[in-house]
């Protein structure tokens, strides 16, 4: 069946990853239906040619309407954020179970989910465990699940990446908790979108867990220094402290960045976990070569500039 005859549902279509995925799928001539809670916030998605359906992953009736006639569905939502402090774990479980069951009832052939690396161990953060539990709940319904797992996604709009930028711009000296030395494997947003869009065409990706990451394994301290280099700023001196709990770290982060403390606390908790790719075999199914961290940062910074400055930066 040709792509022109097939329809996919994208949840989280107005978000950081989802909005870019919608654009890519439309460019590949897919019929894209976007599930949104607030249609008034989806003007750009409509302008690009996607069909808008109002609904919520916690509302089974709206899911049935949204999934009707869809061959595949992307699950790109999670509840962590403003208004969901303390309750995002239960909401994520219910939402994933709803969505999996609705996909099975609608005859959807594939669910594609973007989660995080880590989360299998009891000592991992609630945020990482919830992202992994979401995959398990989606899989319970029996629909083939393509489960992508990634660490920090580098791009404008990513909470983790925006935090790095604000830390570099606002702090003359950094207090350095232990999590700054945790290894991670960041990946550029364009590469994430390419993996997600390709997965719908690769049969071997169905029912598969796929760990994805860029070619660089770095600590958060090293990423902060490289962001400073890209911004043309001095690398912030770092003052080591013996103890800085996740709660104190999140409060500190809330003082020096615009990140809401309800988001900062789960993020900080997750930074204690090694989030590097352990099994690269899934990436081998795709003909992609992710760019390195420095290139991803440069692309993100250009994206965040004014249109005129962006044109000048890209000019030969």
Distance of CA 313 to the CA centre of its chain: 26
Identify the three-state secondary structure at position 109.
coil
Average per-residue pLDDT for the chain: 84
Over residues 227-260, the pLDDT tens digits come to 999 999 999 887 766 555 555 565 556 656 666 6
Q: Which segments of the chain does DSSP mark as H helices, in order?
A: 16-27, 43-47, 60-67, 88-106, 126-140, 159-170, 189-199, 220-231, 246-256, 261-270, 293-303, 307-314
Query: Can you tell me the distance from the alpha carbon of 111 to that of 176, in angstroms, rounded to the nearest whole number?
Result: 40
Which pair of structure tokens corresponds to residue 141? 């319904």
| Banded model confidence at residue 82, pLDDT cuts 50, 70, 90 | very low
10 Å CB burial of residue 315 (0-12, 13-18, 19+) is exposed
Question: For residue 93, how many C-alpha atoms fall within 13 Å in the half-sphere facing its CB?
Answer: 8
Residues in a beta bridge with 116:
150
pLDDT on residue 264: 59
Overall average pLDDT of the 142-150 stretch: 97
Distance of CA 33 to the CA centre of its chain: 20
Over residues 91-130, the pLDDT tens digits come to 899 999 999 999 999 999 999 999 999 877 776 677 788 8
| Banded model confidence at residue 273, pLDDT cuts 50, 70, 90 | confident
Q: How many CB atoms are closer than 10 A to CB 104? A: 15
What is the total residue count of the chain?
A: 316
| Banded model confidence at residue 90, pLDDT cuts 50, 70, 90 | confident
280-284 contact pairs (CB < 8 A, 24+): 280/211, 282/205, 282/208, 282/209, 282/210, 282/211, 282/212, 283/195, 283/210, 283/211, 283/212
- Domains of the chain are 3-153+188-213+275-286 (3.40.50.720)
Q: Which of 174, 147, 149 is nearest to 257 (CA)?
A: 174
Residues in a beta bridge with 174:
238
Query: Can you tell me the distance from the alpha carbon of 247 to that of 95, in angstroms, rounded to the nearest whole number?
Result: 27
Identify the three-state secondary structure at position 169.
helix
Q: Are 148 and 106 in contact (CB under 8 A)?
A: no
Tokens 């996919």 belong to: 8
pLDDT on residue 241: 64
């Amino acid at each position: 069946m040709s792509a022109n005859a097939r329809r996919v549902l994208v949840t989280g279509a107005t978000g950081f990853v989802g909005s870019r995925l919608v654009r890519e799928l439309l460019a590949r001539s897919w019929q894209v239906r976007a599930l949104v809670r607030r249609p008034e916030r989806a003007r750009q998605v409509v302008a690009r040619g996607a069909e808008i359906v109002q609904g919520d992953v916690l509302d089974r009736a709206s899911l049935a309407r949204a999934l009707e006639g869809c061959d595949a569905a992307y699950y790109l939502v999670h509840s962590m954020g403003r208004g969901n402090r303390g309750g995002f774990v239960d909401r994520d479980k219910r939402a994933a179970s709803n969505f999996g069951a609705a996909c099975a009832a609608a005859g959807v052939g594939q669910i594609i989910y973007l989660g995080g690396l880590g989360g299998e161990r009891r000592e991992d953060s609630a945020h990482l465990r919830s992202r992994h539990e979401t995959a398990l709940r989606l899989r319970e319904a029996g629909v083939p699940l393509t489960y992508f797992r990634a660490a920090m996604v580098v791009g404008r709009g990513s909470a983790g990446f925006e935090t790095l930028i604000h830390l570099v711009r606002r702090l003359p000296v950094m207090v350095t908790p232990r999590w700054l030395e945790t290894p991670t494997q960041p990946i550029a947003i364009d590469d994430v979108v390419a993996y997600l869009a390709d997965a719908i065409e690769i049969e071997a990706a169905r029912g598969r867990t796929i760990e994805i990451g860029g070619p660089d394994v770095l600590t958060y301290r090293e990423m902060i220094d490289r962001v400073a280099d890209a911004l043309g700023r001095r690398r912030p001196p770092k003052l080591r402290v013996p103890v800085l709990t996740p709660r104190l770290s999140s409060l500190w982060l809330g003082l020096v960045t615009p990140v809401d403390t309800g988001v900062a606390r789960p993020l900080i908790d997750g930074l204690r976990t090694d989030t590097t790719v352990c099994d690269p075999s899934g990436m081998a199914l795709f003909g992609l070569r992710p760019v390195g961290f420095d290139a991803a940062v440069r692309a993100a910074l250009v994206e965040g500039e004014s249109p005129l400055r962006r044109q000048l930066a890209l000019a030969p």
